[in-house]
Chain A
Amino acid sequence: MRLKFDQQLEELNRELIKMGALCERAIRLAVDQLMKAEAEKAKEVNQIEMEINHKEREIEALCMKLILQQQPVASDLRQISSALKMISDMERIGDQAQDIAGMSKFVQVQEIAHTIHIGEMAEATIKMVTESIDSFVKSNIETARNVVKYDDVVDNLFLQVKEELTGKVIDDSQNAEYYMDLIMIAKYFERIGDHAENIAQWVEYSITGEHDDSEQE
């Protein structure tokens, strides 16, 4: 019985890693779509987003099965409950990556993207997502805490991008539509950063049993 339980926990772990890898890929492709003109990735992102949704259902079912059949306690229960929370954050990351990819299809948006700091913001967000998944994979509290701290960097970049875009919209009101798109893309990146931060916090919770939600919105 316990042996089976351990195997199921491992399976949960594996599935989470896979889902995390899918999120990383989704956001990486979305950024490619935005920053590299030759890339035509939006379709692939859609497909990955569907895969992510599917994975979320799968992992959810697995967690429920574990809770009902094995009635886990202590750290096992923490691991499962934080997995349940993490997958919803991951799923949101997938959704937002899809939105970013969808909006980045226009050449004008891509051109403007190169004139502002959104590229750095995208890289910073990718770094957060990758490290939050890493912290889970390696059960590393240090990495998780760094991710939580790094969120400030993304938040500051968002403010900077917002300022830049405000200036541009005044000077060049003809392309206002695309600037609007870009501000939304920036906001999505900022939200992805928040989700990565949440994931990192849940990683910390599953290891230490303490959840610091003071920085949560």
Chain B
Amino acid sequence: MTKRILRSILLVAVIGLIVSTGATMGILYYHFGGQLEEELRREASYLSVSVEKEGIEAFESLPADAERVTYIDTDGTVLFDNRADEDAMENHSDREEIQEAFQQGAGTAVRESDTLSQRTLYYAVRLSDGKVLRVSSTQYNLPGLLGGMIQPILIILILMAAISAWMAYRVSKAIVDPINKLDLEKPEENQVYDEIAPLLTKINRQQKQIKREIADAKRQQDEFSIITENMEEGFVIIDVHTEVLSYNSSALKLLGAEESKEKRSILAMNRSQEFQRIVEAVLSGRHVITMLDFGDRSCQIAANPVFHEGEISGAVLLILDVTERMKGEQMRREFTANVSHELKTPLTSISGFAEIINDGFVKPEDTRKFAGRIFKEAQRLITLVNDVIKISQLDEGKLPYEKEETDLYELCKEILRRMEERADAAGVHLYLYGPHVKVNTVQTILDEVLNNLCDNGIKYNKKGGNLTVTIEEDGAEARISVQDEGIGISPEDQKRIFERFYRVDKSHSKAIGGTGLGLSIVKHGAMYLGAEVKVESTLGKGSKFILVLPEK
């Protein structure tokens, strides 16, 4: 803008300068032309007076630098000329000014000289004797005049151009500066030029609109990121060049990538071969659902190509962490296999004994013994099925039990009383310590849990050992610990004892009895009650199971 203003001002100045110089010169030229003619006329009239008085002798007193004077006879013959040899001059009667003088008493003529840079003014006057006196003067014509003055004129022109350029620069700056200093954040507060007020109003309006739209976009973006950030599933959107457009933190976690402010390819988040193949497949327009392992997590990936106007413009990848589900499925499969195996063992025995009796190989007096065995195995089967039913119920978490107030001391006393007989048989002494703590809980399940713990405490105790049940109250929690002095559990086994059908000592399990589901029931029961089970154990010295109950 400054440039444009500067150029315009300069242009105007230069044009003005040239036109005014030209005009001035023209006016001056004509003015001087008229003056010269006047002078010639005056000079001619003076001369004519002296010539009429003194005749031809009058010319002798002419100064050397006088204008050219020619004296011409009535027939046109030149009688005298102070600049030329009059004898050599031709007859002048056909000259315009002379003829005019003969006819009208005076005449003028202007003739351009051969060199073009000069012109000659002639003035002729007829004397009383009929002869003509002519005075002439030479002056520069317009081009000649210009030629002579071109240097000073150019200097003036350049000088003027420089001055006007400087002025133009200052002026244009002065015009533009306020515009540059406009505060566009608050366009309406500027009072610079009335001419740009509409523009400022428009800017103001647009600014408000932009702000509103940005706020809208930001809100939508926030909503989107709040939704995606709270998703467990990983979520990545990529464009057709595999560049990541959007993602959530779950995706970073699952893909094992790090946060990055820069734009990057999804391959920079994970570059495993399988993942590359998925990305390639989805960007070639196929819908992909597949399982993939990232480190120790199993993930299900669903990838959908995104089409825009019939062409693939990107893809959306959804990554689901299915590790827990896979583990659960794995456990269920193992459980089914184990249950089938555990059920089959007693059944085989029963079937075997029954077969022998059926075949008549058993003496009548032995039949009782065999029946006893069959009964024992059947009992085992029933216990096992009962345990499986219990654990399934706890697993489902849909037991119809109501909570009721329970005195822990009374409950433990009752359980230990039930155990007395078996404890005597195993030579184990039972002890119970602690206050009467009342807890609001599901009594049947708690009974089951404690029953299992105490049962184990007797089964895995040494002969003559003690089983101590201690009840403690600790703030809002109630603790029941069951301590035995038996074989103990090694740290490696401690991690696994709550698994279904896990037996520490596999070789003696038949002798000790039990289904291998006891501690599993304890764990599930405790989970149902919102309680926590802890184990402290030293191999060979005994174990302590602690059940921490939330009191209310």
Contact = CB atoms under 8 A, between A and B. Distances in A.
B414 interface: no
Interface string A20-35: 1110110000000000
A111 to B, nearest CB: 29
Contacts of A21: 267, 271-273, 276
Given A137-B271, A138-B260, A138-B268, A18 B243 contact: no
Contacts of A138: 258, 260, 268
Contacts of B272: 21
Interface in A87-140: 133, 137-139
Contacts of B225: none
Interface residues of A, number: 16
A14 B273 contact: no
B241 interface: yes
A66 B107 CA distance: 91
Contact of B265 (A13, A22, A139): A13
Nearest to A15: B267
Contact of B271 (A7, A10, A11, A18): A18
B265 A10 contact: yes
Contact of A137 (B242, B268, B273, B276): B268
A13 B263 CA distance: 12
Given A10-B243, A10-B265, A133 B260 contact: no
Contacts of A139: 262
Nearest to B262: A139
B243 to A, nearest CB: 7
Among A14, A133, A139, the most chain B Cβ lie within 10 Å of the Cβ of A14
A62 interface: no
B274 to A, nearest CB: 10
B276 to A, nearest CB: 6
A184 interface: no
Contact of A7 (B241, B258, B260, B276): B241
A148 B465 CA distance: 62
A141 interface: no
Given A7-B241, A10-B243, A25-B273, A17 B260 contact: no
Nearest to B269: A137
A174 B25 CA distance: 122
Contacts of A14: 241-242, 265, 267
A18 B267 contact: yes
A214 to B, nearest CB: 30
A133 B270 CA distance: 11
Contacts, number: 35
A138 B264 CA distance: 9
Interface centre among B242, B267, B272, B273, by most A CB within 10 Å?
Answer: B267
A21 B274 CA distance: 11
Nearest to B260: A138
B39 to A, nearest CB: 78
Nearest to A139: B262
Contacts of B242: 14
Interface in B227-252: 241-243
A17 B271 contact: yes
B268 A17 contact: yes
Interface string B452-483: 00000000000000000000000000000000
A139 B243 CA distance: 16
A18 B260 CA distance: 19
A13 B272 CA distance: 16
Given A13-B265, A138-B258, A20 B271 contact: yes
Nearest to A20: B271
A195 to B, nearest CB: 18
Contacts of B265: 10, 13-14, 17
Interface string B46-58: 0000000000000
A80 to B, nearest CB: 17
Contact of A133 (B241, B258, B271, B276): B271
B218 to A, nearest CB: 27
Contacts of A7: 241
List the 5 closest A-B pairs by CB distance, nearest first. Answer: A21-B271, A17-B267, A137-B268, A14-B265, A17-B271
Given A21-B267, A137-B271, 12 more contacts: A7-B241, A10-B243, A14-B265, A17-B267, A18-B276, A21-B271, A21-B273, A22-B273, A137-B267, A137-B268, A138-B258, A138-B268
Interface of B: 241-243, 258, 260, 262, 265, 267-268, 271-273, 276
Interface of A: 7, 10-11, 13-14, 17-18, 20-22, 24-25, 133, 137-139
29 contacts: A7-B241, A10-B241, A10-B243, A10-B265, A11-B241, A13-B265, A13-B268, A14-B241, A14-B242, A17-B265, A17-B267, A17-B271, A18-B267, A18-B271, A18-B276, A20-B271, A21-B267, A21-B271, A21-B272, A21-B276, A22-B273, A133-B271, A137-B267, A137-B268, A137-B271, A138-B258, A138-B260, A138-B268, A139-B262
